[in-house]
Amino acid sequence: MYGIPNMKLPKEVVERRLDLMEKSGIEIRCGTDATSPDVAAELADFDAVVVAAGAAQARGLRVPGTDNPNVVFAVDYLTAQTKALLDGHTDTPAVSAEGKDVVVIGGGDTGTDCVATALRQHAKSVHQLEFLPAPPEVRAASNQWPEWPNTKKTDYGQVEAELVQGADPRSWATNTLEVLQDDKGGIRGLRVVPLDWSHGKPEPIEGSEREIPAQLVLLAMGFTGPEASVYEALGVQTKEVRGGVRPKLASAGSRRTVGEGKTPVFAAGDARSGSSLVVAAISDGLACAGEVATELGL
């Protein structure tokens, strides 16, 4: 509802799906914090609990200056804009790019959505930094079907930026070294360095550091996994995986978690395996539903 911009996913589509779910007998309680002890205690009275909360733990930027309030996680930025749109306050979103030099760190769908949203908010300029080198224009001979094609893609956000600004907003193989502060509590830009990937690993190019103007920095660097607090509230054991957490599972391939409570807790989608594609989450959700039905003898 909030994390995907309206121009990409009209909210009447989401509302239609919610209406169908409610008519099928599903009770939806919005604004409920599943990490609250009171909520967790209430869930203990159910026959089964499924955690399908996604992988919402955003990956941060570990350089000096990132504690500035003008460095914002991408989903927080997109959520603020969508809420302002739905509330009819498009002129006053909680986080606005209007009149600012905006730098989006990270590619992917979320980074593209940030570029397009900043343009719609009338940013002064939009720049996008990619840590990896630019993929090839055409598929390599070693990258054949059914492998995912490793080729350079230009999504709607970059196309719009080219039309508005006259050039692709992306800088490939670029690493951020520091968020530069101004004397008024804001930021004035980023100190970055191009990377040489020719030896298979990123190596800063000596003497090539530069500054990019920015008064708003949006972090679209992916997610480390689900939020640990959800599982902690439900008494589910977790393990560390690639800088984030995953629930401990009863067995390989299972969706039932290992925990302390009497109520079986299952995990599905990104909440089980980490950030992936929507289609993968849908498939995993269906498999989880089947596992719950089997557990309950339905």
Predicted pLDDT of residue 205: 98
Predicted pLDDT of residue 148: 86
Predicted pLDDT of residue 277: 85
Predicted pLDDT of residue 262: 87
The stretches in the chain having pLDDT less than 50 are none
Predicted pLDDT of residue 242: 86
SS3 at position 276? coil
**Residue type, position 117, single letter:** T
pLDDT, one tens digit per residue, over 94-108 is 999 999 999 999 988
Q: What domains can you pick out in the chain, each with its CATH number?
A: 31-56+228-295 (no CATH), 60-137+145-221 (3.50.50.60)
The CA-based angle 7-100-209, given to 5 degrees, is 110
Predicted pLDDT of residue 273: 95
Pairing of β 244-247 and β 238-241: antiparallel
pLDDT, one tens digit per residue, over 155-209 is 999 999 999 999 999 999 999 999 999 999 999 999 999 999 999 999 999 999 9
For residue 201, what are the contacts with CB-CB under 8 A and spacing of at least 6?
none
Predicted pLDDT of residue 13: 96
Q: For residues 8 and 260, give the distance between their C-alpha atoms in angstroms, rounded to a whole number.
A: 41
pLDDT, one tens digit per residue, over 268-277 is 999 999 998 8
